[in-house]
Every structure is written in structure tokens, then in C-alpha cells.
Chain A
Amino acid sequence: MKSIPKLIRRFVLILLLSIFLFLVLNIGFLVFYTVGHSSNGGPWTTAQEAAEAMTATEEGYTLPEKMQTELESKNIWAVYIDNGTLKALWHSDNLPDTVPLQYTASEITSLTRGYINDCPTFTGTGEEGLMILGYPQKSFWKHMYPSWDYQMIESAPRTVLLVLGGNILLVMLIYLGANSGLLRSVRPIVDGIRRLPEGEPVRLKEKGILSELAFHLNKASEVLQSQKYQLMKKDAARANWIAGVSHDIRTPLSMVMGYAGQIENLTYLREEDRKKASAIVRQSRRMKGLINDLNLASKMEYNMQPLVREDINAVALARQVAVDFINMDVEGRYPIEWETEDALTVCRIYADKELMKRAISNLIQNSMNHNEDGCTIYVSVAAGGYCVISVEDDGTGASDEQIEKLNHAPHYMVCDTNTTEQRHGLGLLIVKQIAESHGGCVEIGRGGHGGFGVKIVLPVKD
């Protein structure tokens, strides 16, 4: 929404600039126009020049030939009146008959202000008399009573500025009024566009000047929501399918596991037969792990696993998982060493207890699965800026290439390209998913005991 004030500023600036440009252009035009129409010096000047050009000769008064020709070319007639007698001393040849040659003082006043026979008249004062020039009809319009209140003229600049300022203010108000309506319509649209990529549904009122825009935005949101819903439906269907399959496999697998478990303990069987039963039990357990992992991995991938986070002690949690494994490992093929420093009794994290248990269990189970001949598993928790839970073993380990792949290649479950290369179990994928969903990460490497090692790094709770 930061763009709205910016938009207002821009609008106002453009408006002010427009007003300024209009003023400059108008004044310029006025000056140009006025000057253009008075370039001849004006009729008053011509009359004055004609009056001053009158010369007295023995045959009477004359106007120089050049000026006479100029006046006649413009259809201007002229009369020169004596100051004392108010009679014509000289007149031009084109003087209409209707123009008198004898004047009274009031006629002189009248013609100075106005017209003779609708011809606008202009006067100029010579040495002996008064020059009257008569211009063709409709060539000039004369203001006959040119007088103003003095104070009005005196305060004219201020008045003009005030009126101008008032005008600008009025224009601004009208403009802002009109624009605020527009901005009111723009605001929900800007808000709607901002919400679109966040996946929120957008439903704007389709009225006002931008109703069409709102309509199309609503339409776009509908399409996006429908796509999101379809995608969720698809994801849910996939996760449910996996959950369904894993559910259906559990009961038959129980039978396999249960009977094999019984058979491996039958003392009257041959050793090698009991071993076969043990192998079935072992593989069934792997299958059980796979089913559980597949279900959880798909749920986490499609965001269907709710995180029930609480304040937990990672040391106690890791210790409990380690102990659960020790308690279950009757044969003692996978001894677990607790390597956490004695001084560290509490490392608080804000996490889903069941999922964290699952992550650590998966790592321990992973070490067991990859070392059929047995190995020692080392579990530790370290606290610094982060909580680091390590599960390492002294078993066969993995090659650099495999470690690189585990750290960086996507798992087939989350890979959308060719999956022939990524055929590793789900255990580590789940550990990664769990760590990431808690804002942490997983580091896969060799560990300090010559085998395989994985570290879960999690943020500690303040």
C-alpha cells in the first residue's frame, strides 16, 4: 500500500505543474496577441504624429505627402481644427461630406471619446490646432468612459494574486475530491493484487469507476483458488491413498511378523530354520518402518501433518529414544553409547515431541538397517547457539559420493524429474522434513567413529 501516497504526490505534482504551465502559456499568448495588434503604435500615436507633422505654409496648413498617402491607404480621413475658432484649417481629400468642418467644444469632447458617423475618431494635438483622424467603421471599438476607482487600480496586483490563488485552491479541491474517489476505488484493488500471490481468496465489490478491474481481479482469484483447491485435493487424495495402502498392509504384516516372531523362538527347530524366521522378523520390521515412514513422509510433503509444538528437553527426549532401543535390543547386537556431556542436562527446543522422537529413532534404525552384522551407535546432544542431536555409528559407513547424494540429491518422493537415480530409503527424508519443519537442518557425513553420522541441528528455545 506504499504506492498510494506516492500516487497522490505524483498526481498533485502533475496538477501544480499543469497550472503553472497554463499560466505561463496564457500570459505569453496575451502579451504576444496584444503586441501583435498594436505594432503600428496605435491610432492615438498616429493622430499625434499627424498633428505634429502639420506645417503652416503660405497657402495654408499641409500634411506631408508621405503621411497623407499612408493615411489614405488605410482609408483614414483627417481634419485639422484651429484651437481658437474650432474651424477646419485643413482636411484630407477623402473626408466624407457628412463630417463637419466646424465644431463646438462639446462635439470635440464627444468625438475624442467616441465616434463621428460611427467612424472611431482619434485626436492629436498640434501647435496651432487639433488633428482628428477618422478610422473606417468597425476598425476599432472604443471604451467611451475609461475611468476606474483609484483604490481598485491600486489594489489590483493584490486582488489578481488573491483571485489567482483562490482559483488554484478551488481547482486543487475539485481535483482532490475527484481523485480521492478514484483512490478509494484503487485501494481495495491494490490490496487485492497484494493478496493474490499469498494464495488468499480475493472478493472485491464490483462497483465504482474501477468495477471492471475488480471484476477481473475477482475472476483471477477464483481461478487461483480453484487451482489451489484442486491441488490440495490431489495432494490429499495421494496422502490418503498412501495412508489407506499402509493401513491395509498392517494387518497381514502383523501375521507375518507375529508368526515369524513365534517361530524364531521355537527351541525344537533347527538353528538354521530359526535363523530364517529371524530374517523374516527383521525384514518385516523393515517393512513396518517403511510403511510408517511412507505415511509420514507423504503427509509432511503435502502439509497434512499438524505440528504439535511444545517446550521440550532435547536431552531427555534423545535419552528416552536411546533407552527404548536398548530395552528392545535383546540380542545386544547394536549397543548404544550415550556421549552427551554430563554437565548438559537440559537443552530446550520448541518442537513436536512425537516427530522429534521419530527423527532420532529413524537415525538409529538407519544405522541398524545398514549394518546387519551389528555396530555400536553413538547418540549425543550438544548445545551452543543451536541444539545439535547426533547419531553416529562405527559401521560400514558410506562413500563420499553417496554422502554427497544424500545431502543434495532430491529424494524420489519429492523429485519431479527422472527418479531412477534416487533410490534410497525414506528414513533420512523424514528426518530432513522434520528438521526443516522445525526451522532446522540435517548434516549427513561420516561422524567421528568411522561409520555413518547424521546431525540434526535445531534452533534452541530462549
Chain B
Amino acid sequence: MISDYIKKKQILLVDDEPELLDMVVSILREDGYENIRTAGTVEEALKEAEKSEPELAILDVMLPDGDGFGLMEKLREKGDYPVLFLTARGEDEDKFRGFGLGADDYIVKPFLPKELLFRVAAILRRSYKEEDPLVKLSGCKIDLERAEVIKEGERIPLTAKEYELLSALYRNAGRIVTIDALCEAAWGDNPYGYENSLMAHIRRIREKIETNPSKPVSLVTVKGLGYKLIIA
């Protein structure tokens, strides 16, 4: 599901616990990530960032010579890349502060390896487009860059709403996306009352992407809850 290109991204990992650093590195490496740099302090992190030009930073909030929020601001001065906080502080205000400053995600310790891996992959996929942007489904390919479905050699254009819905489903490929989250993706912050419209759009998307739209295999319904995009 996760394309190889994201595994080559440069990751900067900052935490003052050497053992935790080792563990996170081993989790990432085992999943195929190749370029990981580590640092234990703000100073080291800034030096490392100068050298390696990271494409994702995973930061602890509490560091011996400063905090992760300050570090993120300094890193952002040099380059605009995604930041994921990995911290033992689970306070809501910390989360809001992190998101307010533009953090891309926030994981509270303790965490499971697969949770970390999923979030890292999601951030990277969101932030960096694949060189070959074609999403392969069982009966077709989707070119999200050009908002088109390529089915049996034919290019079928997607409408704006269909594109929004497919993008949201693709970002969470293999996972259920709720009806409400899809409505929000397509119709904005106050998505009440669009459930029927959503069903109509899903039907039209299926006509474009499924071999047999009445028996969908790529865009499946999870009754009452939402939809799931299955990538081949």
C-alpha cells in the first residue's frame, strides 16, 4: 500500500532518551525507511538539520536545552517540511499548541509501532507527491494529479466533488472513512444533510472505477459507518 518513494525520505528524529531513539530508529528501519538521522538536544538537531536537510522531523516536546515547539519554529525557518510530535505530554493544551504552530501530527507516548508507522507514512504521502501518481485499483488506475480515471485505456474525468472524495479515501486507503468525514471533505465544515448527495456521488465514482459497479470491490461500503478504498 505504501509506495517505496516515501521510504527514501530524510527523517530527523529528536529525543533526549537514547534508548527510545534506538527503538524508533529500529521500528522505522524495519519498515524500510533508509535515511534516518537522530539528535538528543535542540543544538544537535539544528546542526543535523543543516547537514542533512530533513523531509520529516519527529520531535520530542521536552528536550534538555529547550522545547520541541521552539525547535520546530527554528527548523521551519530553514525549510518547510512536516513535523510530527512524539511526546510523553498528553495534555490537550500541548496538542493545541503543537497544531497551532503548524505541527502535522501529534503522538502521545506510549505508542504502538504500527501507529507510528501509519502516521509517518500518512504525513509523508500527504506532503510529498509520488513521482508516478497513479493509484492502482483492481479494475482501473486513478491519476489524482490530473483528476482522471484510466479504465481500459480510456481517460474518464472526475468532477471536483468526486476528486475530493477519492483523495480523502486514498489518504486513508485500506481504512474506513466515515460518512461524516467524507461529507466534510467534500462540503466543508458544516456537512449536515449531505448524506444522500454523498451516496449519489459514490454511485457515480463506482460507475467510473469499478468493473461491476453493482458489486464494488475497490470502493466498498461499510454499512452505516462509511466507505473504504481498497488499493490493488
Binding site for B on A (CB under 8 A): 243, 246-248, 250-251, 253-259, 261-262, 265, 281, 284-285, 287-288, 292, 295, 308, 313, 315-316, 319-320, 322-323, 326-328, 330, 338-340, 342, 345-346, 354
Q: Which residues of B contact A248 (CB under 8 A)?
A: 88
Which residues from B are CB-within-8-Å of A339? 224
Considering only CB atoms, which chain B residue lies closest to A354 in the complex?
B92
By a CB distance below 8 angstroms, the chain B residues around A295 are: 90
Given contacts A254-B20, A340-B224, A342-B224, contact A320 B180 (CB under 8 A): yes
Residue of B nearest to A336 (CB): B225
Chain A nearest CB: distance from B143 CB in Å? Answer: 26
B195 x A345 contact (CB < 8 A): yes
**What residue in chain B is nearest A287 (Cβ atoms)?**
B110
In the complex with contacts A345-B195, A346-B192, A251-B88 CB distance below 8 A: yes
Residues of A within 8 A of B222 (CB): 323, 326
Within the complex, what minimum Cβ distance (angstroms) separates A170 from chain B?
Answer: 68
In Å, the complex CA distance between A292 and B180 comes to 27
Provide the residues of chain A in CB contact with B112, threshold 8 Å.
Answer: 257-258, 261, 281, 285
Most buried by A among B23, B175, B223: B23
List the count of A-B residue pairs having beta carbons below 8 Å apart.
Answer: 100
Determine whether B109 belongs to the interface, using a CB cutoff of 8 Å to chain A.
yes
Q: List 5 A-B contacts (CB under 8 A).
A: A254-B110, A258-B20, A261-B112, A313-B192, A326-B222
Residues of A within 8 A of B176 (CB): 323, 326-327
On whether the beta carbons of B178 and A320 are closer than 8 Å, the reply is yes
Distance from B230 Cβ to chain A, minimum over Cβ atoms (Å): 13
- CB proximity of A20 to chain B, nearest CB, Å: 71
Contact of B179 with A by CB under 8 A:
yes
Q: Which 5 residue pairs spanning A and B have beta carbons closest together?
A: A316-B180, A338-B224, A250-B88, A254-B110, A253-B110
Of the residues A243, A262, A323, A338, contact of B113 by C-beta under 8 Å = A262
- Decide: A323 and B178 in contact? CB cutoff 8 A: yes
| A354 contact set on B, CB distance < 8 A | 92
Give the complex CA separation of A355 and B224 in angstroms: 23
Q: If A262-B26, A338-B225 touch, does A254 touch B180 (CB 8 Å cutoff)? A: no
Not counting A251-B109, A319-B180, a sample of 5 additional A-B residue pairs whose C-beta atoms are within 8 angstroms of each other reads A247-B88, A253-B109, A254-B88, A257-B110, A342-B224
Q: How far is the CB of A273 from chain B (nearest CB, A)?
A: 17
List of B residues within 8 angstroms of A257 by Cβ: 110-112
Report the nearest B residue to A380, measured CB to CB: B224
- The answer to whether B181 has its CB under 8 Å from any CB of chain A is yes
Interfacial residues of chain B within 174-201, with CB under 8 A of chain A in the complex? 175-181, 192-193, 195
Q: Write the nearest CB–CB distance from A353 to chain B, whole angstroms.
A: 11
| Contacts known (A251-B20, A327-B176); A261 close to B192, Cβ less than 8 A | no
Q: Which of A261, A319, A345 is the one whose CB lies under 8 Å from B226? A: A319
B87-119 vs A, CB cutoff 8 Å, 1 = contact: the mask equals 011111000000000000000111111110000
Q: A345 to B192, Cβ gap below 8 A?
A: yes
The answer to whether B19 has its CB under 8 Å from any CB of chain A is yes
- Taken together as a complex, chains A and B put the C-alpha atoms of A315 and B172 apart, in Å, by 21
Distance in angstroms between the alpha carbons of A434 and B65 in the assembled complex: 37
* Cβ-closest chain B residue relative to A281: B112
Within 8 Å of chain A (Cβ to Cβ): is B24?
Answer: yes
Q: How far is the CA of A253 from the CA of B193 in the complex (A)?
A: 44
User: A253–B90 Cα gap in the complex (Å)?
Assistant: 14
> Contact between A262 and B30 (Cβ–Cβ < 8 Å)?
yes
Q: Are A288 and B110 in contact (CB under 8 A)?
A: yes
B73: interface (CB < 8 Å):
no
The residue in A243, A251, A256, A339 that gathers the most chain B C-beta atoms within 10 A of its C-beta is A251
CB under 8 Å from chain A, chain B span 38-81: none
- Cα of A323 to Cα of B226 in the assembled complex, Å: 8
Chain B residues with CB below 8 A from A328, complex form: 115
For B195, what are the chain A residues with a Cβ–Cβ distance below 8 Å?
345
Give Cα distance in the complex from A191 to B88, angstroms. 48
Q: Is the CB of A258 within 8 A of B178?
A: no
**A313 near B180: Cβ-Cβ < 8 Å:** yes
B27 adjacent to A262 (CB under 8 Å)? yes
**A250/B109 in contact, CB under 8 A:** yes
B12 to chain A, nearest CB (A): 19
Whether B207 is near chain A, meaning CB under 8 Å from some CB there, is no
Given contacts A247-B88, A292-B90, A323-B226, contact A261 B113 (CB under 8 A): yes
B145 within 8 A of A: no
